Amino acid sequence: MAKLKLELENEKEETVVHTKDKVKGRAVRKAFQTMKKIEEADYEEQLDTLIDYVVDVFDDPGVTEDSILDGIESENLMPTLSKVITDVVGVDPDDAENQQAKK
């Protein structure tokens, strides 16, 4: 079962943790659609697509485009958003790389 966690810094520079304990199958389908869209997009579209996906999957008033853009440090933005998708689909990126290396 996917359990999601997203840490965002608020305007008071406090860390707010958002969690999603249950993720439905529809989120997996949308994750695959999102990954396909990202492959065909430029960097700005990739970022916007990932943000839209994370906002949708969390379905939390505290998780918005603005709260993500203002609440995650720049060097952590893409890895944090990408982790949400990998957590939803149940893929460990490290394992995937190891499997590719073995082939």
> Given this model, what pLDDT does residue 91 score?
74
User: pLDDT tens across 35-57, in order?
Assistant: 999 999 999 999 999 999 999 99
Does the reported pTM lie above 0.75?
Answer: yes
Residues of the chain whose pLDDT is less than 50? 98-103
> Given this model, what pLDDT does residue 98 score?
42
When divided into structural domains, the chain yields a total of 1
Residue-wise DSSP of 1-61? ---EEEEEE-TTS-EEEEEES---HHHHHHHHHHHHHHHTS-HHHHHHHHHHHHHHHH--T
**What domain range includes position 24?**
4-102
**Max CA pair span of the chain:** 49
> Given this model, what pLDDT does residue 8 score?
98
> Given this model, what pLDDT does residue 84 score?
97
